[in-house]
Every structure is written in C-alpha cells, then in structure tokens.
Amino acid sequence: MPQDRRSFIGGLALAALLPGGCASASPPPPARVGGPWTAFSARFLSPDGRIVDTGNGGISHSEGQGYGMLLAEAAGDRAGFDRLWAWTSHALSRTDVRLFSWRFDPAAANPVGDPNDASDGDILIAWALLRASLRWKVGEYGQQSAAIRGAIRKHLIRQVGARTVLLPGIAGFDTPGLLTLNPSYYIWPALDAFLAADGAAAWGAVLRDGEQILAEARFGTHKLITDWIEIDSAGVRPARGKPPQFGFDAVRVPLYLAWGKRRAALAPFRDFWSDCLTRHVAIPAWIDVVSGAQAPYALSDGGMAVVDITLGRRPRSARGGDYFSTALGALAALAAT
C-alpha cells in the first residue's frame, strides 16, 4: 500500500530542538524551471524512463513518475516527457481501470506485487498529460489525461455523510461509515486544472469539501495536519493505527496549498515554522501533534524549500539530497513560477 515512510535522514545534520517545537490550466514558461529538471533528471531518471527512489532501495512510485513528467513538461523537454510516460504506461498501468499501480520494485520477482494505486500518483500523471497537451498541442496526451481523470472520479471519489472525498487508493481505505485519507494527496493546482477542464459538476464538490476537511484537520498545540486522517459522520481526526505526525507526507500539504494560491490556509504552517526560525532552532522533520515529540533531526533541504515558499520566500536549492528531498525542492521551484 502507498504508505512508505519517507526518508529525510540521509545527508541531514542532527539538530538539538527545543521542547514544544516550532490555478490555471496553462503551463508556465519552460526557461524558468529548466534548472531543477536538469539536476533532478541527471540523478534520478534511468535510461528507460523510470524515476528511481534512492531513499527507498531503488524502487519507483507512480508519484515519482508524475513528478518527473510535470518537471519535464515545465522544462519543455518533450523527449524526456515521452520517455517517462512510455515507461509509466507500460510498467504501471492497471489492466482493469485507467489508473496506475503505485509501486515498482526492480529487485522483486514480480516488480508490481501490489496492484493498488495511489491517487496522488494518478492525479500527478493526469495533470502532467493535461499540461503537455496544452504545451505541445498533442491530442493523445489530452485524451489519456481525460481517461485517467474519469477513472479517478469513478473509482476514487466517495461520499461520507454529506461530504465528497478523495480516497488515497481503490482498496484499503473505505470501511462502512469511515474513510482514511491522506491530505497530501489533494494536489490543489492539479484539481484546479481538472475543474477548468471538466467543469464544476465533475470536481466542484471534491474541491469544496476537501478544503473544508483540511480546515478542520488542525490538531495539537500548533494546529497542524497529520500525514493520515480519518473521517466519519462525527468529524475529522488523526487516523488510528498511524503515528499522529505532521511529517513526511503532510509536508506536501503547504506546498500544494501555496502552489494552488490558497494562502489563507497556510497560516498554521507559517506560524509554526516562523516560530522556529524566530527562536533560531532547527525545524524538525516531523512533530507528533498529540504528544509534542519531535524528530531528532532537522527538515531536509527539500522540506526547507517548502518552508521558503510557504513563507513567501524564494525556495532554496535542494539538489544534494535523496529522491524525495530533491523532488520537494524541484516542485517548490516550479510552484514559485
């Protein structure tokens, strides 16, 4: 299932932290984001078109393929984009629905041992194809994106009470009366682009209710969101059976909010990170919203690029870390355009 713990540890300096812690469908100009894609692809793009997760044993994810396709499109690299899309479509496409298996392990006898999808990967791939269809005027890209968007609506959108929500994957997150969600799978600029392409009847409730869920999912002293939440008719809370942390998944929530121009929703993240910076203490890689416990190591350079864009600053370079840190930095640079 798409629940790998992200590795922020490699290359990070350990930090002594104080208790208590601290939409448009049009693509951007390519010249402004070529640098991040050039550096990212040189380190993580294999010759066959696979993005390699160096922090998790060399596996690949539908998420990473989507990141790569977005960055290649934004850089105007059609050859790179086509290579990524060809591998993704061949290796990860499910045979039953137009979605993508979330994990590929080249060392396994069956590299795609878990056929389940991850909705963030599906969304990223569909968004990248939509953007590519607009940039290069290729109808096939647009048709593929539309088919994926339709499958997302059919298989990953559920009702819980009066709310319309986005499931993290087809299987494993929907029990009677209770749904488990990953807030970082709401990729707001992509959903805005889908709304522009397909209309409010298709996506309006997903965006409206998703924004409301995020507004309610503020926990602990710092009112931070957790990596996983659950929702039923009684409300929203940290998901049981998972660490109640603002951590390796949830750090993408402010990235996508900033990218989607939802500045008001960034207030809790700005407050927490600004407090750390004001007190000159390292920002922790995660914080437990219930106990207040913090990671004994600092946020990666890629995570700090997210901090920068959240605080309205130019995102720093994050080219020396592992796959996930570098991807965060590259995405922050793209969002800043």
pLDDT tens for 257-271 read 999 999 999 999 999
Its pTM surpasses 0.85: yes
Catalytic residue among 4, 63, 73, 227: 63
120 an active-site residue? yes
Task: Report, as an integer, the average pLDDT of 221-244.
Answer: 96
Catalytic residue among 4, 53, 120, 230: 120
The answer on pLDDT for 30 being more than 50 is: no
pLDDT in tens, 279-327: 999 999 999 999 999 999 999 999 999 999 999 999 998 888 899 999 9
The answer on pLDDT for 27 being more than 90 is: no
For residue 95, the model assigns a pLDDT of 95
For residue 176, the model assigns a pLDDT of 87
Distance of CA 7 to the CA centre of its chain: 15
- Among candidates 25, 70, 2, 1, which has minimal Cα distance to 203? 25
The region, left, alpha or beta by phi > 0 then psi within -120 to 50, assigned to residue 300 is: beta
Task: Considering only residues 19 and 293, tell me which one the structure prediction assigns the higher pLDDT.
Answer: 293
271 an active-site residue? no
Mean pLDDT of the chain: 91
For residue 153, the model assigns a pLDDT of 98
For residue 318, the model assigns a pLDDT of 86
